[in-house]
Structures are given as C-alpha cells and as structure tokens.
Amino acid sequence: MKFRDNVLRMTKAGIIAGLLVTGLSAGVAGASTSHATHPDGLVVPMGATDHPNYINPYASGAYFTVTNMNDFQEYMYRPLYWVGKGSDITIQKDLSLAALPVYSNGNKTVTITMKGWHFSNGTVVDAASVKFFLNMYKAVPARYAGFVPTFGIPDQVSNVTANGNVLVITTTQAVNPNWFTYNFLTEITPMPEAWDKLSTNIPGANGTNSSTGTLNADGFYSPTNNSAGCAAEAYSSIPAGTPSYTSTPNACGFRTSLGKYGGAYGYIYYNAIPAQMGSYQDNPMWDVVDGPYTLFSFNPTGNVVFVPNGGYDGPQKAALRMTLVAEASVDTEKAQLQAGQLTGGYVTPQDVTPASIKGTTVVPGTNLLSALKGKFTVRSGGSWAFYYAYYNFHSQSSGTHLPNLLAFRQAMQYGIDQVSIIKSLYNGYGVPGYGPIPTIPANAFSGGLTNHYAYSLDKGKAVLKAAGFSGTTAPWTCTKTGGCGTGIPKGTPLTITYKYGTGSPTQDKEMAAEKAAWAAEGIKVNLSTDTPDNIAALCTSGAGSGNNTDTDPNDNGDWQICQYGGWLYAPDYYPSGELLFETGALCNPGLYSDTKMDSLIAATTLGTAALNAKNGYAQYAMDQLPYMYQPTGTGTGEISNLLKGVLPVSPTSSSLPEYLHW
C-alpha cells in the first residue's frame, strides 16, 4: 500500500481499512463501511493483523501505505489536490485546498492559488502551509517515500515563493503538466504553523539540544516556545538534502553527527514514530487538522476513533463518529460482521457468489452467509493499482545472483496461473496483472500493451534449459560450463526464499499453488511469512549490506523476493513509473537499475509527450520483469443497506466517510 503507492502508495497484503471496498491483497480485499444503526456511528474493521502505525503525512517507505495514508492520515490532513470521488479518478476541484494549478513560462512556472480554508486552530491553510512542506522536502528528501532523485519535487524545483494565498513554483526545465500535477502536486500535504517547532530534546537548527531525546510526562516530545522557522525560510536558502541527508543545520531538517534529526522535521518525526503511537491522541500537535475528522483516541493495539471536525471548510462536513477496529484475523472480523457489531466490513471470496467482469466493470455477486443476506450488499471494483513482489537485485545482501537473470524471472512469471487462481481462489474477484498499468478500471494508458508471459510450465522450463539449467526435480542446477550468467557458476541450484505477509487465508493458498508450479519448472521456492508491519519494513528497507541501520535508507535488507502488497497509483496518479523503476527511487528497494528503462521514463515526464504503449516504459517493464506480477484482487466488501450517501467504489481508494449518514 505513493506505493509513493504513487504517492504511489504501497499497500500491504490483506489490508483495506476504513470505508473502502477495493483491495490489492488476495482474498481480504476492501473493507467497506456500512451503518447498521450503531450507537457509535460508523464502526469499520481494518485489515486482519494490520492497523495504522504512523500519523505524519511526510512518511518514509515503511509507512507509505494505504492503511496509514488513505485510511488514517487523510481523514485529518487533506492533500493539496484531492483525486477521486466514487468511480472518478480525476482531481476533484470542490474537495481540493486550491484552485487548479496554472502553468506558464513554457511550463516552467506553476501558480497555485489557495482557497483560504482553515486548520482547526483557526489559522489559514495558505501558501506558507504548502511552502512548509516543500521546504522540508528540499531539506530531507530521503525521508519522504515519494522522492525520486532528479525527478519533479524537489530536484527539478529552482524556487518557491509564498505570498498570502498564492504560491509560485519555478522548475529548472519544462515539465509535463499532467505528470507534474498528478504525481507531485497531489503528494503535497499543507502543514500547519503549529508543527513548525523545535523540540526541547531534539537537535535544533543551531546544533544545540543534542540530547538523546526523552519523552515528557504526557508521552511525547515537548516543543520549544519558538517557531523553527521552516515555513518562513526562503526556499533558495535551504541546503538541498540528498539520499545520504544534509548535515548543515537549518530550520527545516538535517541530520546530526549523533544520528538524530534536527530542525522542524526532527520535532515532527519524533512525535510520529511508532513507539509513540499511544500518545497520538494526547499530543496537541496532531489536533491541528484541516480535514473532516479529528482524532479522538488511538491505542497501541490499533483501535482508532475519529470525531467530526466542526471547523472543516470543505463541501461536506462529517456527521458521524467513526471507529476503526483492529482485527486479529479474517474469521474474527467475519464473526463481528455477522453478529451486527460492525457497520460494514469484508468477507472472503468464498462467502459470496462469483463475480463477473463486463467490459471494464466488476459485477459482484450476492451473500452466501445467511446473517448478511438482505442486510448487507457486496461491493467490489477494480483498483488503480497492481499487485507484485520485489526482486532483490543486490546479490551481496540477497545472497544470490538469480534475480538478475532474466531467464529466472521469466520462468517465475510463467509459473503463475493467474486466470486459474482468480477463478478458483478469488471466486472471480480479481484481475490478472502482467505489468504496471491496470486494465481495470478503464484508462488511457493500457491499450496496445502485450503480455508475453501467460502461464506455461513448458515455456518456463524451456527458458531455464536455454540458460543452462537442468534436472529431474526441484531444484535444478546450473550444468553449463562457464556458468549460467554473471555470478551463477556451474552447480548453482535454483533455490530462492520468498517472504510475504500473513493475514489472508486466500493468499496462503495462492502461494502454495505457485510454489508447486515453480517446483514443476525446477525452481525450489522456500516460503517465509511474517506480520504485515514486519514485511513492510523488510521489503521497503532497500537492498544494501544487510546491516539495516537508520543511518542510510538503502542499508538494509537480507531478502531475496519480498511481497509487501501492491502499488496504488495514489497520490501519484499519473502512471509514469519513475517512483517504481527509476534508478535510485526510494520506492525501488530492490535496487533495479536499467538505463533504457530510465530513458523511457524520462521521455514522458518532460514537455508534453503523452504516455502510451508506443513511447512509454510499460511494455518494457512487462518484458523485463523488474517485479514479479501477481493477480490484483478486486475486493469483497460489505456495506449495510441502511447506510445513505454511499459512493461507488473508488479505484484510487479515495475514502470520503464524511458523505455517509443514516
């Protein structure tokens, strides 16, 4: 679940919290909201074994998830431009904090006029609120998962000015307006002046306050009385951060010799780290919101309660209290749903009659569970997303060169019988995925693309034999004199470890079926599971030395294949690929790097070139298999028939519970 989701957002397997129906995981797709006449308003389950664990919208890869962003943060902190309402996947002018951007000067100047809405403490969501985010982004870009070196914000921005409600961004060269708007401006979350503080025990811009950091009696880091000055600082005067962080003290953020963060970023970050989850509700900084909800309670087990923000300036104020319930398992959630304890939720595909696909529309079936018949309606729909697993291309940390061999990746892809998996395990609630562009919902980017790796064990074995592998049972070994590729000497077995998150019974069955198919091709796959949070941290930590320290975001990860979930094109909605496939992108933790891929991506991010099958990167990404493509679930959510204001399923996981009422 910006996997920059882009942000794209990365979605974890088996998760959809809040009022959403669509899901990327196998089986446990989206949870929807419904309202039986529950005294607490909306009571909605989260994905099994998963819950929000980060409150700050300026998030690193491990926390850049649908669960944290769509189903938690955005209820309180709204992005500059809101995309999606029901089935629509375009910018919603009435829900956005600013008028649509105006491009001039040959697409090198972007003028944004804010609407003058307010934070809950009465301060205005103005141009300075946007500049606060942009200034921090320039200072500590590697702490935001949407960062791609040399692309967009901040590396292609030469200056930013803020005057009242008018913000002007100047870029270093002409940009594609659709790309810049939908992949970068939509990622911006204006931040309140109340967050522009220095902590009493986090290093400040002058290098002082360099203690190790302790919590106060209320469970959070106390601010000083003075503003850090990040929002007011001139953009041009802030030292540009790098993936290795800037060490130059500044008002917005920097890294100290102690390995801590200073400036306003240090204060915000240390109040948002997971260890302080239980203090979110007690910390007054998080009470300053501009969205339809404010946080009422949050406990370390993951249960969350929101109450309406009466000062919300948007077109629809929230009317109902909303509770997100942490679930231990799918079975527990289903029992609560059937007992009437939830106002909406999710079931497995086997609990409903099969879905059908009509054109680019998913037509859901009906309930088989007697307790839900006549009371709840099944919801499903395509996601502006695709589901996949990462390959670790860094042989020193993965311990094998196999992922670098195209023939190996081809055989792995040939071994995934997506059509049969969707029919037998998803009960029709899924869409095959063969590349980074979804085919459902309907879109202007997927036409003309060709899948070359439809399920075929014979073709899988053939490519391995051609590469020099042979055998009778898995694992086959390299028998070719001179080896089967760089770093793959004669005698190397086709053995690899595949890690994925727990929580979805359907996914467990899917992985078992795929393991058997790969074995039939000669590949021995050792499956390994962990909690979604642990898998998220592992998959997104990068492919480095395996040391996994916080001093370097790319110094990670002892893994070979890692399945975190899927990529939701939100809040980077333009599927141009730089967040996933570009060399050095923070959402490219497997360290995939290909010069042709880089050039294909660059071709449609500058100027006005259209992204399509002829000039885009997508066909190359389908052919080269930088990721392992898996089926994308369309979801089996449930919604109460008593609930009013229900919108169609959102492909972008756009969650708007403020429209719901009895």
Q: How confident is the model at residue 33 (pLDDT cuts 50, 70, 90)?
A: very low
Q: In terms of pLDDT, which residue wins out, 166 or 178? A: 166
Element of type H or E holding 136? helix 127-139
Over the stretch 459-500, which tens digit does the pLDDT of each residue have? 999 999 999 999 999 999 999 999 999 999 999 999 999 999
- Measure the CA–CA gap between 514 and 415, rounded to whole angstroms: 7
SS3 of 327, please? strand
DSSP bridge pairs for 524: 495
Over the stretch 231-288, which tens digit does the pLDDT of each residue have? 999 999 999 987 667 788 899 999 887 778 889 999 999 999 887 888 899 999 999 9
C-alpha distances in angstroms, 235 versus 136, 167, 204, 526? Answer: 9, 12, 19, 50
**The predicted structure's pLDDT at residue 34:** 35
CB burial of residue 64 (10 Å; 0-12, 13-18, 19+): buried
Q: In terms of pLDDT, which residue wins out, 550 or 359? A: 359
**Tokens 């998803």 appear where?**
426
Listed in sequence order, the residues at least 6 apart from 561 whose beta carbon sits closer than 8 Å to its beta carbon are: 389, 390, 391, 392, 403, 496, 497, 498, 499, 628
Q: How confident is the model at residue 9 (pLDDT cuts 50, 70, 90)?
A: very low
Asked whether 589 and 556 are in contact (CB, 8 A), the reply is: yes
**CATH number assigned to the domain with residue range 389-627, chosen from the 4 options 3.40.50.720, 3.10.105.10, 3.40.50.300, 3.40.309.10:** 3.10.105.10
Element of type H or E holding 255? strand 254-255
Interior angle at CA 329, CA 293 and CA 54, nearest 5: 40
Q: How confident is the model at residue 533 (pLDDT cuts 50, 70, 90)?
A: confident
- Measure the CA–CA gap between 79 and 57, rounded to whole angstroms: 9
Q: Provide the token pair at 493.
A: 């077995």
Over the stretch 134-146, which tens digit does the pLDDT of each residue have? 999 999 998 998 8
Which residue type occupies 42?
L
Rg over alpha carbons for the chain, rounded to the nearest Å, is: 24
- Measure the CA–CA gap between 18 and 292, rounded to whole angstroms: 14
Q: Which residue, among 281, 280, 285, 278, has the nearest Cα to 299 in the 3D structure?
A: 278
Q: Evaluate whether the domain defined by 11-82+293-384+635-659 bears CATH number 3.40.190.10.
A: yes
- Tell me the backbone φ, ψ of residue 638, rounded to 5 degrees: -125, 140
**Tokens 């979110």 appear where?**
280
DSSP bridge pairs for 632: 431
Q: How confident is the model at residue 557 (pLDDT cuts 50, 70, 90)?
A: low
| Topology given in CATH for the domain delimited by 98-289 | Dipeptide-binding Protein; domain 1 (3.90.76)
CB burial of residue 513 (10 Å; 0-12, 13-18, 19+): middle
**Tokens 């942009």 appear where?**
134
Q: Provide the token pair at 157.
A: 């921005």
Over the stretch 200-228, which tens digit does the pLDDT of each residue have? 888 876 656 545 567 888 888 888 877 89
Query: What is the pLDDT of the chain when averaged over all its residues?
Result: 87
- Measured N-to-C along each axis, helices 457-467 and 505-521 cross at an angle, to the nearest 10 degrees, of 50
Q: Which residue, among 3, 70, 42, 618, has the nearest Cα to 307 in the 3D structure?
A: 42
Asked whether 653 and 66 are in contact (CB, 8 A), the reply is: yes
Domains 11-82+293-384+635-659 and 98-289 share a fold: no
Residues 420-449 have a mean pLDDT of 91
Listed in sequence order, the residues at least 6 apart from 462 whose beta carbon sits closer than 8 Å to its beta carbon are: none
The domain locations on the chain are 11-82+293-384+635-659, 98-289, 389-627
Listed in sequence order, the residues at least 6 apart from 346 whose beta carbon sits closer than 8 Å to its beta carbon are: 16, 23, 28, 29, 30, 31, 32, 45, 330, 333, 337, 635, 636, 637, 638
Q: Provide the token pair at 519.
A: 């074995």
- Measure the CA–CA gap between 70 and 213, rounded to whole angstroms: 30
Q: How confident is the model at residue 151 (pLDDT cuts 50, 70, 90)?
A: confident
Where b means 16+ CB within 10 Å and e means fewer, 604-627 reads: bbbeeeebbeeebbbbbbbebbbb
Asked whether 64 and 9 are in contact (CB, 8 A), the reply is: yes
- Measure the CA–CA gap between 449 and 23, rounded to whole angstroms: 24
Listed in sequence order, the residues at least 6 apart from 534 whose beta carbon sits closer than 8 Å to its beta carbon are: 501
